[in-house]
């Protein structure tokens, strides 16, 4: 029989990539890594799964678990608002490309 390969969820793979390149020796770097990981995890549909990842993020970045969960909820709320704006814009015929480019510029600054 062959070896059974470990199945690693895509979210965990992405978190590992962040951690592989993150500097965690200063509060600012830990906060940046926490934000990146929160963005990754916030897309998961299950609040129980998000909660488990929140504990991992909190432990790794020395951030209060409740704050990590709050950040993920803020990210989810903003994504929901963006989706709503996209639907309204599509219905109104607004140029979505320029709106998304503006949002992207704001996220990278």
Q: Say what the pTM is.
A: 0.73
Query: Cβ atoms within 10 A of the Cβ of 8, count?
Result: 10
Kindly give the parts of the chain with pLDDT less than 70. Answer: 1-7, 93-97, 99, 107-109
Query: In whole angstroms, what is the distance from residue 50 CA to residue 39 CA?
Result: 11
Domain ranges (residues) in the chain: 10-108
Specify the pLDDT at position 55: 97
Query: In whole angstroms, what is the distance from residue 107 CA to residue 63 CA?
Result: 21
**How does pLDDT run across 76-95, given as a tens digit for each residue?**
999 888 888 877 777 776 56
Output the average pLDDT for the chain: 86
**How does pLDDT run across 57-67, given as a tens digit for each residue?**
999 999 999 99
Nearest to 71 by CA among 86, 84, 58, 52: 58
Specify the pLDDT at position 94: 58
Specify the pLDDT at position 69: 97
């Amino acid at each position: 029989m062959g070896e059974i390969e470990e199945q690693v969820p895509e979210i965990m793979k992405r978190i590992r990539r962040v951690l592989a390149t993150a500097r965690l020796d200063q509060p600012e770097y830990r906060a940046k890594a926490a934000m990146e990981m929160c963005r990754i995890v916030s897309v998961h549909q299950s609040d129980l799964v998000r909660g488990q990842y929140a504990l991992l993020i909190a432990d790794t970045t020395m951030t209060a678990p409740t704050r990590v969960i709050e950040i993920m909820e803020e990210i989810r709320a903003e994504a929901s608002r963006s989706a709503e704006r996209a639907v309204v814009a599509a219905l109104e015929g607004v140029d979505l490309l320029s709106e998304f480019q503006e949002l992207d510029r704001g996220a990278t600054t």
